Amino acid sequence: MRPPPFAAFIEEHRATVYRFLLATVGPHDADDCFQETFIAALRAYPTVRDDGNLRGWILTIATRKAIDHGRAKRRRPVPMDDLPETGVGFELDGASEVWDAVRALPPMQRAAVVHRYVIDMSYAEIGRLLDCTEEAARANAYEGRRKLRAALAPVRGPDLVTTDAEVR
Amino acid sequence: MNDTLATLGRLDVDAASRRAADQLVRRAAAAGLIDIAVATVDTPMGALLVAGTREGLVRVAFPEEHPDVVLQELADAVSPRILRDRRRLDRTLRELDEYFDGRRRRFTTRIDWQLIPAGFSRRVLEETARIPYGSVSTYGEVANRAGSRRAARAAGNALHDNPVPVVVPCHRVVPSSGGIGQYGGSEWRKEYLLSLEGWLAR
């Protein structure tokens, strides 16, 4: 089936993609990655087939952009002066250390954690998205969570340390 | 921690993602990635959906044809790279405004005919585009000018399927037997347009 008009496609997926990018690259870079994601999608759009999983398709692109973005950023750190003065306005109250810790994770673990816990995807979906097996997706999410716990235990106290039983 | 992660899943990102989507339209336009720009123009006959390619105006639709349906048809027939962007359509929108205001008698907008394959139907529409403001032709006359004297009924069908009504004035074609005849966009609109142009007494 041919895909819907791009205007309708954006309208349907913009919030999910934005939420995902907010969690993976942070409020300052979410806009840029959002633009790159949908421009890449628009370029490829005439050849895409609507197999009922355009959401998976756009999230695959967003994931790739978020990972590339993380890599590029490590290569050339952005000086503080270059940060846009107006953030997107998202208050991650009391949780900013969590997001800093999430963004400090290696790209695959970060993507797995966010897909699983922020936009609630199954490991099978995450595996398809990250181009790895379901087991690898689970392992990445598990390892990501383990690192988050280790990073956050000193700041957040032991109440935040969860048991393995919580890891679905 | 699960709770904190879940918080982000519930954040209201609607406004921020809408702004980002608006910005995307400008980026897409600058990168030449919009195959069809669409916009809506308010007129005394209702909100018209207007769609343009790089070649010209490709579609004008009355509100009864649901916009989602019209856009899906364009996506299937032309390209799914469709975004709402008024800038490419600026001139057409302005001319439509002026026309409904009684300040314009001729459209200078280029037409993209790709929805109508070359042939009799297209010639009928091209001939119709030449009928001057405030005057009318009959179905038979238009058929004749399009090269087929006896094809008045076929001309009527072609006019009914006019993808760019108002701009290509199919409302200026009437039956030789009298009356104003049929109109794809409901007859009251044909009557309205012919009155606006002064052919029918108001």
CA distance, residue A163 to nearest chain B CA (Å): 11
CATH architecture observed for domain B120-196: Orthogonal Bundle (1.10)
pLDDT tens digits for chain B (202 residues)? 556 666 666 667 888 899 999 999 999 999 999 999 999 999 999 999 999 999 999 999 999 999 999 999 999 999 999 999 999 999 999 999 999 999 999 999 999 999 998 999 999 999 999 999 999 999 999 999 999 988 999 999 999 999 999 999 999 999 999 888 888 878 999 999 999 999 988 6
Of B24, B72, B79, the CB nearest to A38: B24
Cβ contact, residue pair A14, B20, below 8 Å:
yes
Of B8, B20, B68, the CB nearest to A23: B8
Q: Which of B49, B125, B142, B170 is labelled catalytic?
A: B170
Put simply, whether A14 touches B (Cβ < 8 Å) is: yes
Residue A142 buriedness (CB in 10 A; 0-12 / 13-18 / 19+)? middle
Axis crossing angle, helix A123-130 with helix A54-75, rounded to the nearest 10:
60
Return residue ranges of chain B for CATH 1.10.10.10.
Answer: 120-196
Cβ contact, residue pair A152, B71, below 8 Å:
no
**The whole model's pTM is what?**
0.81
Cβ contact, residue pair A39, B23, below 8 Å:
no
Put simply, whether B3 touches A (Cβ < 8 Å) is: no
Judged by DSSP in three states, B60 sits in strand
**Residue partners of B141: CB distance under 8 A and separation at least 6:** none
**Residue partners of A50: CB distance under 8 A and separation at least 6:** A1, A2, A3, A4
Ordered by start, the domain boundaries in chain A are 1-90, 95-156
The CATH number, out of the four listed (3.40.50.720, 3.40.50.1100, 1.10.10.10, 3.40.190.10), of the domain defined by the range A95-156: 1.10.10.10
**pLDDT tens-digit map of A64-91:** 898 888 667 666 554 444 444 334 444 4
Domain A1-90: assigned CATH number: 1.10.1740.10
C-alpha B79/C-alpha B35 separation (Å) is 6
Chain B residues near residue A152 by CB distance under 8 angstroms = 1
H helices of chain A, where?
6-25, 27-44, 54-75, 96-104, 107-117, 123-130, 134-156
Listed by number, the residues of chain A in 55-114 with a beta carbon closer than 8 Å to a beta carbon of chain B are: 88-90, 92, 95, 98-99, 102, 113
The pLDDT of residue A131 is above 90:
no
Q: Is B44 a catalytic residue?
A: no
H helices of B31-119, where?
67-77, 90-100
C-alpha B139/C-alpha A78 separation (Å) is 69
C-alpha B42/C-alpha B160 separation (Å) is 22
C-alpha B165/C-alpha A63 separation (Å) is 44
Note the ipTM here.
0.88
Starting at the edge strand that comes first in sequence, how are the strands of the sheet with B36-43 ordered? B57-61, B46-52, B36-43, B82-84
**pLDDT tens-digit map of A98-115:** 777 888 888 889 888 888
Are A147 and A109 in contact, with CB atoms under 8 Å apart?
A: yes
Listed by number, the residues of chain B in 68-107 with a beta carbon closer than 8 Å to a beta carbon of chain A are: 68, 71-72, 74-76, 79-84
